[in-house]
Amino acid sequence: MREIQVPVISTIEEKCKRCYSCIRECPAKAIKVENGQAKVIESRCLGCGHCVIVCSQGAKAVLDGTDHVLAMLAEHETIAMLAPSFAAAFMDNRPEQVIGAVRACGFARVVEVAFGADLINKAYFRLVNDKDDGDETVKKPIIASSCPALANYIEKYMPELLPNLAPIVSPMVAMGRVVHKYYGKEVKIVFIGPCSAKKVEFVDDEVKDAVDEVLTFTELEAILLRKNVDIHTVEASTFDPPRAYLGRVYPLSGGLLRSAGLPADVMNSDMVVTEGKARVLNLVESLKNEQVDAKMIDILFCEGCISGPFMNHDINYFTRKQKVVRYTDEGRLTSDYPSWRKAIEECADVNVYRRFHSERVTLNEPSQADIRAILARIDKHDVSDELNCGACGYPTCRDYARAVYQNLAENDMCLPYLIDKKERMQRQLQDSLDALAETQQQLIQHEKLASIGQLAAGMAHEVNNPLGSIMLYAHLVKKRLQENDPSQDDIKFIMDEAKRCQTIVSGLLNFSRQGQLSLVRQHISSVIDKTIKAIRQQPLFRAIDIRSFVDDDVPEMVLDADQLYQVFLNLAVNAAEAMPDGGTLTIRAKIEMDRLTIYFEDTGIGIAKENVAKLFTPFYTTKQIGKGTGLGLAIAYGIIKMHKGSIRVLDSQLGKGTIFIIDLPILMDESAVDSNGGLSV
């Protein structure tokens, strides 16, 4: 086959929207996806134009011959050949108007391809009935070769069926050779029809002598526009000779049999007629497997040529069919049969035979292991994961995996996988945003507490001196008074209140991390055990089930046991107060990410969300007046900070309970203590 300089069908990349409809419709799987663009593979393409029909974005372009034809019209005597489906292509116009419009574009003559169909009918009749001039080397069943898309498919993908393919030219080629016989070898010939596969056929080395260019009906309309020809007002005309007879019915399914005088009865199993991509592919596969017993197979890749890619598909199929039938009937009734018969006899020497050649297209086939590996990349690990939804353009997930292996498809064409991937990414993003929001909230809280700590430290220093003076002078006054002096009770009250103030100041200093740690090597379990032993004796814990778990891999470490005991005791008491009717307190210590984490989990009343951020603020409390100072958690916060750790509410739900978490670095020796008594880590 002669090479075409550019692909017959190509992709307009800026219009391609990743819908994969063209892949789904392409009978030859001649579409390769690169960077999301569905590109036509020229060596695999049949030129059938199915991808053109289904592309709603107009992203498939067909090789345009208009400029070439306009140049021929200007320089040569050029003859137009109209395919018989033209009657249905221009529904609003009479056939004579269409012929007149084509002639008005500058074509020297306008002839009908249907005469070429009449001419090859004799060859088909003899081939089917084993007449003398038939080719006895052709195997039965004989496959009609008039549809170029079908012939291309057999040459490329089913060359085993080449012996069955009728060695007869198409009506276009036959008519092109007739035109040269009638009007001379020097004339230029342009075929005009609904089929893009003709653009592949006319450059085939076997038939390249017949036609100089192929136009679709769409391209004809473009030439009419450029030539300022109004098809509605142009002078009507008729075809130049030779004129056709029943060949005009060729665009219809079974038209070949009808016009060739072959039996087309549905009860006649010797003749099989089918149309449409899906049925054709099924039939061809059956022929390959020798499952069809017939003499003749009449096949059209489209649902008749009246459904070619460049017909008006907005018009009902049956309306188009009816228009062609009516045109054929009218022509048959007005035809000069003797003249037609004479023309057929005069063209008996026109060569209507040809050969077809194998152009087998082969691709590497993946193993089952390859297919499984490709499917695993899109989270299809089991047969139940293979949805076979066809969204990628391939009928099954395994066909898609095969296409990926053959570099025809990309990994991100599976729609369910992409949706799942997007949902996972959205969840991960939301988790990251939630974590970021929590971190930001913690940072804000830490900065706020640090500011409060600085203020508390300053206040504590300022208040300590006057408190010391009050205690000193109160003591002096108490010594001077007689033991039975009524003022003794007043002085004692002053001293008790001053001591309480000192306790508060001490708490503020601890919160602001102005205290010192007394670090010793100890196991955290001993601190937890000490805490549990202390709280079991308290009435507050009478109805509380206390549980503790310390993982075996928790090591001894340097810590201030007394101060951590104070923290644990505070958390345990708060938990018990949150469970007035009883409940469970669970203390758990474990190693996580090379840190020691300690959980205090209760089944109490929980903490309102709006209160969580205020818990470690000095003097903040939800307890009744006189029941607490609001310094317990603030002091715990300061102690944990001195240990270079963190303390926070991990989770709290009203009516279900609260979880506090303490996070501490694992320190193995006392060298971590700095000059101020804190940790240097």
- In order of start, what are the domains of the chain with their CATH numbers? 64-346 (3.40.950.10), 368-413 (no CATH), 425-513 (1.10.287), 515-681 (3.30.565.10)
Structure-model confidence comparison of residues 473 and 114, the more confident one: 114
Mean pLDDT (whole number) for 362-370: 89
Under the banding of pLDDT at 50, 70 and 90, the label for residue 513 is: low
Coil, strand or helix: which one is 679?
Answer: strand
Structure-model confidence comparison of residues 582 and 131, the more confident one: 582
The pLDDT tens digits for 379-434 are 888 888 888 888 888 889 998 889 889 888 887 888 888 888 888 888 888 888 88
What are the beta bridge partners of residue 293?
none
What are the two backbone dihedrals, phi and then psi, of residue 658, each rounded to the nearest 5 degrees?
-135, 145
Least confident of 68-72, 213-217, 325-329, 528-532: 325-329
User: What average pLDDT does the chain have?
Assistant: 85
Under the banding of pLDDT at 50, 70 and 90, the label for residue 77 is: very high
> ∠ at Cα 229 (226, 235), nearest 5°?
160
Return the DSSP state at 307.
Answer: G
Is pLDDT of 450 > 70? no
Mean pLDDT (whole number) for 585-611: 93
Under the banding of pLDDT at 50, 70 and 90, the label for residue 675 is: very low
Q: Which pLDDT value is given to residue 626?
A: 47
Least confident of 75-89, 119-133, 281-295, 340-354: 119-133
Structure-model confidence comparison of residues 25 and 107, the more confident one: 107
Percent of the chain with pLDDT over 90: 40
Q: Which pLDDT value is given to residue 1?
A: 40
Under the banding of pLDDT at 50, 70 and 90, the label for residue 582 is: very high
Mean pLDDT (whole number) for 120-136: 75
Q: Which pLDDT value is given to residue 492?
A: 82
Q: 681 is written with which tokens? A: 């880590």
For residue 106, the surrounding DSSP H or E stretch is none
Nearest-angstrom CA–CA distance, 168 and 173: 10
Under the banding of pLDDT at 50, 70 and 90, the label for residue 628 is: low
Is pLDDT of 357 > 90? yes
Q: Which pLDDT value is given to residue 131?
A: 58
Is pLDDT of 630 > 70? no
Q: Is the model's pTM score more than 0.95?
A: no
Under the banding of pLDDT at 50, 70 and 90, the label for residue 43 is: confident
Q: Which pLDDT value is given to residue 564?
A: 92
Q: Which pLDDT value is given to residue 3?
A: 45
Mean pLDDT (whole number) for 110-127: 92
Show the 3-state SS of 548-605: EEECCCCCCEEECHHHHHHHHHHHHHHHHHCCCCCEEEEEEEEEECCEEEEEEEECCC
Q: Which pLDDT value is given to residue 41?
A: 87
Structure-model confidence comparison of residues 273 and 130, the more confident one: 273
Q: Which pLDDT value is given to residue 312?
A: 79
Q: Which pLDDT value is given to residue 2?
A: 41
Mean pLDDT (whole number) for 188-197: 94
Under the banding of pLDDT at 50, 70 and 90, the label for residue 6 is: low
Structure-model confidence comparison of residues 20 and 544, the more confident one: 544
Question: Is residue 406 classed exposed, middle or buried when 0-12, 13-18 and 19+ CB atoms within 10 A define those classes?
Answer: middle
Q: Which pLDDT value is given to residue 277?
A: 84
Structure-model confidence comparison of residues 295 and 506, the more confident one: 295
Length reported for the chain: 681
> ∠ at Cα 212 (210, 216), nearest 5°?
105
Nearest-angstrom CA–CA distance, 283 and 291: 9
Is pLDDT of 269 > 90? no
Return the DSSP state at 481.
Answer: S
Q: 127 is written with which tokens? A: 């081939």
Q: What are the residues whose beta carbons fall under 8 Å from the beta carbon of 92, sequence distance 6 or more?
A: 232
Mean pLDDT (whole number) for 105-115: 95
Nearest-angstrom CA–CA distance, 599 and 659: 7
Is pLDDT of 311 > 50? yes
Helical axes 114-128 vs 337-346, angle rounded to 10°: 70
Under the banding of pLDDT at 50, 70 and 90, the label for residue 554 is: very high
Mean pLDDT (whole number) for 316-338: 84
Transcribe 340-386 into DSSP letters. HHHHHHHTTTS--B----------PPPPHHHHHHHHHTTT--SGGG-
The pLDDT tens digits for 465-494 are 787 788 787 778 888 888 788 888 888 888
Identify which of 485, 660, 482, 655 has the alpha carbon closest to the alpha carbon of residue 571.
660
